[in-house]
């Protein structure tokens, strides 16, 4: 257990590097894996990545381009490939189940560790506990945070049994502290008792269906309660109007995407209230 999603991703890379004895990482364009120095290296967003963070150890390829993945992994230089279950900061961009299966097969064949960053897309957000479960694959490492503590700062790394672990391999200042562990256990208890993963799927599907039927919307992407709404007009202006006039807060990504990441306990009544407000502003 660590402090944040960024730390979780850095530690996952460390595990992969120790395991393979290699140092290069394959990442995907548009990715976001956190704001610590090592995590920032794995983003190609110039607003986040400064010259200080740029190294020659990370290569970016387009998500979905399995041929580019194969070319890079064939060099034998990579310890890991890291991909988000669904890209969040990039605007709810889906990797696709077929591509995840191809990526799993390629990484296995080339002896490269597959890391699934589920920091934003995990913990029931998409209607499965982890987004990659829709594809049926099993990654080597899974990173998580955000929903893990329901607001309390905590993150974690799930590590497959074939990795050798030893004392001191990984470390973090507040890792494994009792309050963080108690918070994480309480969250899991509530998710189970209130059946929140199934609720995320049900209400998320309802929202997506209703949004797709609205005019003036170019595209609706996502799964469960991780939804991106692509509009023709200015998303920042629309989001501001939603807050000021309707008291509805939404997320954003770029100039034309509104991001929805509501609480997993949202009801269809809450969804209807949002849809009414959104339609009026749109």
Work out the pLDDT band at 55, boundaries 50, 70, 90: confident
Whole-Å CA distances, 2 to 42, 52, 87, 118, 278? 19, 24, 22, 15, 38
Q: Annotated catalytic residue: which of 32, 99, 274, 278?
A: 32
Strands 141-144 and 113-117: parallel
- Enumerate the β-bridge partners of residue 258: 229, 252
Domain range enclosing 231: 196-281
> Last residue of some domain: 173, 192, 211?
192
Is the same domain home to 209 and 180?
no
Is the same domain home to 215 and 139?
no
Residue 130 falls in the annotated catalytic set: no
Residue 192 falls in the annotated catalytic set: no
Is the same domain home to 220 and 167?
no
Is the same domain home to 110 and 219?
no
Is the same domain home to 168 and 57?
yes
Going by C-alpha positions, the residue among 248, 200, 252, 242 that lies closest to residue 91 is: 252
Report, in angstroms and rounded to the nearest whole number, the Rg of the chain calculated over CA atoms.
Answer: 19
Cα(123)–Cα(100) distance, rounded to whole angstroms?
19
Going by C-alpha positions, the residue among 57, 54, 67, 52 that lies closest to residue 22 is: 57
Going by C-alpha positions, the residue among 135, 134, 268 that lies closest to residue 209 is: 268
Q: Annotated catalytic residue: which of 28, 99, 117, 130?
A: 117
241 is written with which tokens? 């109007």
Residues 164-220: tens digit of each pLDDT: 877 777 777 777 789 999 999 999 999 999 999 999 999 999 999 999 999 999 999
178 is written with which tokens? 């009792």
Is the same domain home to 182 and 82?
yes
Per-residue pLDDT at 163 exceeds 80: yes
CATH of the domain at 212: 3.90.1150.10
Averaged confidence pLDDT in the chain: 94
Cα(125)–Cα(122) distance, rounded to whole angstroms?
6
Q: Euclidean distance between the first and final Cα of the chain, in Å?
A: 42
Is the same domain home to 97 and 13?
yes
Q: What is the pLDDT of residue 48?
A: 83
Number of Cα atoms under 13 Å in the Cβ half of residue 159 = 21
Q: Annotated catalytic residue: which of 28, 99, 129, 146?
A: 146
> Last residue of some domain: 192, 213, 229?
192
Is the same domain home to 164 and 205?
no
Is the same domain home to 168 and 242?
no
Q: What is the pLDDT of residue 33?
A: 94
Residues 146-158: tens digit of each pLDDT: 999 998 999 999 9
CATH of the domain at 89: 3.40.640.10
Count of the separate structural domains present in the chain: 2
Q: What is the pLDDT of residue 172?
A: 77
Residues 82-138: tens digit of each pLDDT: 999 999 999 999 999 999 999 999 999 999 999 999 999 999 999 999 999 999 999
Is the same domain home to 71 and 144?
yes
> Last residue of some domain: 144, 167, 192?
192
Residue 32 falls in the annotated catalytic set: yes
CB 31 within 8 A of CB 160: no
230 is written with which tokens? 């692509």
Is the same domain home to 171 and 221?
no
Q: Given CA atoms 63, 68, 73, 77 in this order, what sign does their dihedral have?
A: negative
Whole-model pTM? Answer: 0.94
Is the same domain home to 254 and 147?
no
């Amino acid at each position: 257990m660590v402090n944040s999603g960024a730390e979780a991703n850095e530690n996952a890379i460390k595990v992969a590097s120790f395991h393979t004895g290699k140092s290069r990482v394959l990442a995907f364009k548009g990715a976001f894996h956190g704001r610590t120095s090592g995590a920032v290296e794995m983003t190609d967003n110039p607003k986040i990545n400064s010259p200080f963070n740029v190294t020659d150890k990370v290569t970016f390829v387009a998500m979905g381009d399995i041929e580019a993945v194969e070319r890079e992994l064939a060099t034998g230089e990579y310890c890991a490939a890291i991909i988000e279950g669904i890209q969040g900061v990039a605007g709810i961009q889906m990797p696709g189940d077929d591509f995840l299966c191809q990526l799993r097969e390629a990484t296995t064949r080339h002896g490269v560790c597959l890391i699934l960053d589920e920091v934003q897309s995990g913990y029931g957000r998409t209607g499965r506990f982890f987004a990659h479960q829709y594809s049926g694959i099993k990654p080597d490492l899974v990173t998580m945070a955000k929903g893990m503590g329901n607001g309390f700062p905590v993150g974690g790394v799930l590590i497959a049994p074939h990795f050798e672990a030893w004392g001191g391999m990984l470390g973090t200042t507040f890792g494994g502290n009792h309050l963080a562990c108690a918070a994480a256990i309480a969250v899991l208890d509530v998710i189970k008792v209130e059946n929140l993963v199934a609720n995320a799927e049900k209400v998320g599907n309802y929202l997506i269906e209703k949004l797709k039927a609205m005019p003036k919307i170019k595209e609706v992407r996502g799964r469960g309660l991780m939804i991106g709404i692509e509009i023709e007009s200015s998303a920042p202006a629309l989001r501001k109007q939603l807050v000021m006039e309707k008291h509805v807060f939404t997320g954003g990504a770029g100039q034309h995407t509104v991001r929805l990441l509501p609480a997993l306990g949202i009801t269809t009544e809450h969804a209807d209230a949002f849809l009414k407000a959104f339609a009026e502003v749109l």
